[in-house]
Amino acid sequence: MNPLKSRKTLILLAGPGFIFLLCFFFLPLLYVLMESFRGVDNQITLSRYFDVLVDAQFQLVFKRTLRIALIVTPIAVLVGYPTAYYISKLKSKKKSILTTLVILPLMTSPVARTYAWIVILGKFGIVNETLTTLHIIAEPMRILYTETAIVLGLLQLFMPILILTVSSSLENVNSEVEEAALSLGSNRIGVFFRVVVPLSFEGLIMGVTLVFTGCFTAYVTPAILGGANVLTLSTLMREQALVLMNWESATVIAVIMIITTLILYNGIRAFRPRNMA
Amino acid sequence: MKKLLVVCVMLLASFGYLFAQGSNESVSVDRPYEGKTLTVSMWGYNMDILEKNIITPFEEKYGCEIVVETGNNSDRLTKMVARKGNPVIDVALFAGSHTFKAKEEGVIKPYDPTLLTNLDQIMDKARDPIGGQYGVGYSLSNLGLFYRTDKCDEVTSWKDLLNPKYAGTVSIPTITTTYGPAFIYMLTKAYTGDFNDTEVGWQKLEELAPNLVTAYGRSSQLNTLISQEEVYIAPFSSFAWGSIDASGLDVAKVIPVEGLPGTFSVASVGAGTKNEVLANEFINWLLSYDVQLNEALDQVDSPVRTDIELPAEIAANLAYGDELVNSLYFFDEAEIAANQAEWIARWNSIFSK
């Protein structure tokens, strides 16, 4: 019998990780969920959800956070997927160099990276200086402390993750499959959309999920690049918890964020090709 | 005989050393708290200077180690409340309104006036700013108004922040900062002549909101905005003037015709402290002549001691001098704390559009 298939081996290998997740993820999550239903008199109630969901400010911030995530994610796919495909076709030396360049931003502190955007996007930053020098704009634009700044910051933060996730999935696509498709009469575009993308779909789903979830729950980038003007759910949750000490509303916001990402994840998976169960 | 004498002296010295090691409190008169750790909750702004003037000399004098927890008022107060069942903070430094909230939450306790031997040397207002001896003001600050002299006309009033000419170059403190609520009061005074009808202040804030670059949550953020030349006119905390002045830009600060709000930075003893005497000693240390003088000379904290004499060029950059100090408006911290939730909601409704 294959020792890797025995229950004992499975428990030994997966057990420590599962226990870690149970103690430091599932149980705290369960606690947060239970707290969100606890009312003033320790009764179980939905009143806190009602209070948060009808609040106009929460609705506005929720829509904004969702909008930002839904803008960043497709841009990350449109730019990141072709990049990952190109990298997957390279020989090992060039592939290694480009992969390193993709990973390099991930080795820098997200706070440091985000602060760099302040210099780049500022009134006299690189972007405005270039545009005014080229006479594309007459006066510097307001980019910092807007949703645009947050979108750019999140793109830089999460696109490498999508590229890496899709790259590893594309590594499993045998190039002979593409040659076979070509020999059977398909053109390059057909091969790409009807063979490569479906075969790498699991990696793409994972990448999209990571990017969307990351954008939806990001704190540092919206806090620094959005400022007080542009609240997102994470910064709103922080304000409720750390400024107002309103832990009940903060837990409700946290649960709503989790539910939203789960709904989106399952929604994305609904788009997988039919022949992939 | 000589050898015997030497051996006896060495033995006596060894016993003396061993005896001293057995008792922390009696190691040395000069370092009575050797081995003790004092945890202080404080702001991180100007930390290098605070270490030089306050922390390191105190550690050397008392033999203890100081562990700091830094952050803004809200974050640190929330942490203290969250850890109420297992407190770690011995001394907490907050702005007045947050000290009041800390008192209400039960995370601070009254200081021991018998241990604060410097109490008689500080201004009356600072001795018990929130009542019940729950804290002592160790530093005075005010909200000032700065502007770029090369980008703005002469600024004389809080109303100048709403000048359409400066649209897109203005910043203000967020409502959750030390001076956030005070700014609303000053807008109210500017447009009504007194502090009563804050609704006017809020309406003016709503007019001002579209003209802001952003509202800043920390003085360091304002410094960044100024050095990046995003902001040409803004209210600022007086302890940040040194950094603003050092930006190399053409800046000036002004006392607006409507006046300036002031507040104390308040030091309190943590409710669950296991080092109550040392905590009180630390607060007394903050009020000592050397600390107050050095902090003032480094333009970090304005002194509350009445016997500090400062050179004119330093004094001009601090909340110092009878004329200025007596003209400052000190708002009711209890009222500010009571309004907090409502004012934050109002602020968010203006800015989250």
Kindly report, residue by residue over B289-299, the tens digit of the pLDDT: 999 999 999 98
DSSP B238: G
Residue A87 counted as domain residue: yes
**Looking at residue B19, what is its pLDDT?**
47
CATH number at residue A124: 1.10.3720.10
Tell which residue, B110, B162, B128, has the closest CA to residue B269.
B110
Query: C-alpha dihedral over B216, B221, B225, B226, to 10 degrees?
Result: 110
List CB contacts (< 8 A) between B213 and chain A.
Answer: 142, 144-145
**Which residues from chain A sit within 8 angstroms of residue B231, using beta carbons?**
none
Q: What is the mean pLDDT of residues B336-342?
A: 89
CA distances A43 to A46, A48, B11, Å, are 10, 11, 71
Q: A218-223, long-range: CB within 8 Å, 24+ apart, which pairs?
A: A218/A154, A218/A157, A220/A110, A220/A111, A220/A114, A221/A110, A221/A114, A221/A150, A221/A153, A221/A154, A221/A157, A222/A68, A222/A150
**Which residue type occupies B195?**
F
Task: Give the pLDDT score at B263.
Answer: 93
Q: Which residues of B touch A60 (CB under 8 A)?
A: 352-353
State whether residue A124 sits within 8 Å of chain B by CB.
yes
Q: How many helices (H) and strands (E) does chain B have?
A: 15, 11
Average pLDDT, chain B: 90
Q: Per-residue pLDDT averaged across B3-12, rounded? A: 57
Mutate: best of A220, A243, A244, A247, partner B, most B CBs <10 A: A243
pLDDT score recorded for residue B353: 67
Distance CA B57, CA B291 (A): 9
- Average pLDDT for B309-313: 92
Domains of chain B: 29-140+263-326 (3.40.190.10), 142-261+330-351 (3.40.190.10)
As a whole number of Å, the CA-based R_g of chain A is 23
Residue A21 inside a domain? The answer is: no
Number of structural domains, chain A?
1
Q: Is residue A131 part of a domain?
A: yes
Nearest to B256 by CA among B333, B168, B185: B185
The answer to whether residue A245 neighbours chain B at the CB level (below 8 Å) is yes
Q: Do A124 and B228 touch (CB under 8 A)?
A: yes
Give the number of other CB atoms < 10 A from CB of residue B242.
Answer: 16
Measuring CA to CA, which residue among B258, B281, B274, B275 is closest to residue B327? B258
CB atoms within 10 A of CB B24: 14
* Domain limits for position A219: 45-269
Q: What is the pLDDT of residue B16?
A: 47
User: Across the interface, do A242 and B75 touch by the CB < 8 Å criterion?
Assistant: yes
Calculate mean pLDDT across residues B61-89.
Answer: 93
Question: Is the pLDDT reported for residue B22 higher than 80?
Answer: no
B240, B219 Cβ separation under 8 angstroms: yes
Cα B75 from Cα B83, distance rounded (Å) = 12
The pLDDT of B191-209, averaged and rounded, is 96
**Percent of all residues in chain B with a pLDDT value above 90, rounded to a whole number:** 73
- Judge whether A244 is closer than 8 Å to chain B, CB to CB: yes
Among B256, B278, B257, B259, smallest CA distance to B269 is for B278
The per-residue pLDDT for A5 is 66
- Count how many Cα atoms sit within 13 Å of the Cα of residue A117 in the half-sphere of its side chain: 27
Tell me if A227 and B214 make a contact (CB, 8 A cut-off).
yes
What mean pLDDT is predicted for residues B8-29? 49
β-pair type (B37-42, B170-173):
unpaired
In a domain, A29, yes or no: no
Confidence of residue B17 (pLDDT cuts 50, 70, 90): very low
- Measure the CA dihedral A214/A217/A220/A222, to 10°: 100
Residue type, A17: G
The minimum CA-CA distance between B217 and chain A, rounded to whole Å, is: 8
pTM above 0.80, yes or no: yes
- To probe the interface with A, which of B230, B351, B353 has the most A CB atoms within 10 Å? B230
In a domain, A37, yes or no: no
Q: How many residues make up chain A in this entry?
A: 277
How big is the A-B interface in CB pairs under 8 Å? 60
> In chain A, what residues touch B216 (CB-CB under 8 Å)?
227-228
Cα B161 from Cα B169, distance rounded (Å): 9
* pLDDT per position as a tens digit, B80-120: 999 999 999 999 999 988 999 999 999 999 999 999 999 99
pLDDT at B8 over 70: no
Q: Which residue of B has its CA nearest to A120?
A: B228
Using CA atoms, how far residue A224 sits from A115, A117, A129, A151, B49, in Å, is 7, 9, 21, 12, 26
B202 token code pair? 């809020």
* pLDDT over 60 at B18, yes or no: no
Burial B193-230 (b: 16+ CB within 10 A, else e): eebeebebbbebbeebbebbbbbbbbbebbbbbbebbb
DSSP lists the bridge partners of residue B263 as B141
pLDDT(B7) > 70:
no
Q: What is the DSSP string of B125-189?
A: HHHSTTSTT--EEEEEEEEEEEEETTTSPPP-SGGGGG-GGGTTSEEEE-TTSTTHHHHHHHHHH
Q: Is residue A254 part of a domain?
A: yes
Nearest to B228 among A118, A227, A245 (CB): A118
Q: Find which of B74, B104, B205, B340 to mutate to test the A interface (most A CBs within 10 Å of its CB).
A: B74
Instruction: Assess A229–B contact: CB distance below 8 Å, yes or no.
Output: yes
Position A120 in a domain: yes
Q: Provide the shortest C-alpha distance from residue A111 to chain B (in Å).
A: 14
User: Which of A94, A149, A92 is CA-nearest to residue A117?
Assistant: A149
Give the B-side interface with A, CB within 8 Å.
Answer: 74-75, 78, 81, 168, 174, 176, 212-217, 224, 228-230, 340-341, 344-345, 348-349, 351-353
Residue with tokens 């107060």: B77
Nearest chain B Cα distance for residue A193, angstroms? 41
Average pLDDT value for residue range B245-273: 94
Alpha-carbon gap, residue A19 to A16, rounded angstroms: 5
3-state per-residue secondary structure call for A46-88? CHHHHHHHHCHHHHHHHHHHHHHHHHHHHHHHHHHHHHHHHHH
Buried b vs exposed e over B287-320: b needs ≥16 C-beta within 10 Å? bbeebbbbbbebbbbbbbbeebebeeeebebbbb
CB atoms within 10 A of CB A91: 7
Q: How far is B215 from chain A (nearest CA, A)?
A: 6
Average pLDDT along chain A, 277 residues, taken 10 residues at a time: 74 91 92 85 86 91 96 96 92 90 87 88 92 93 92 94 93 86 88 88 92 94 88 92 87 93 86 59
| Predicted pLDDT of residue B343 | 94
Percent of chain B predicted with pLDDT > 70: 92
The answer to whether position A233 is within a domain reads yes
More confident residue, B100 or B26: B100
**B215 vs A57, A228, A242: nearest CB:** A228
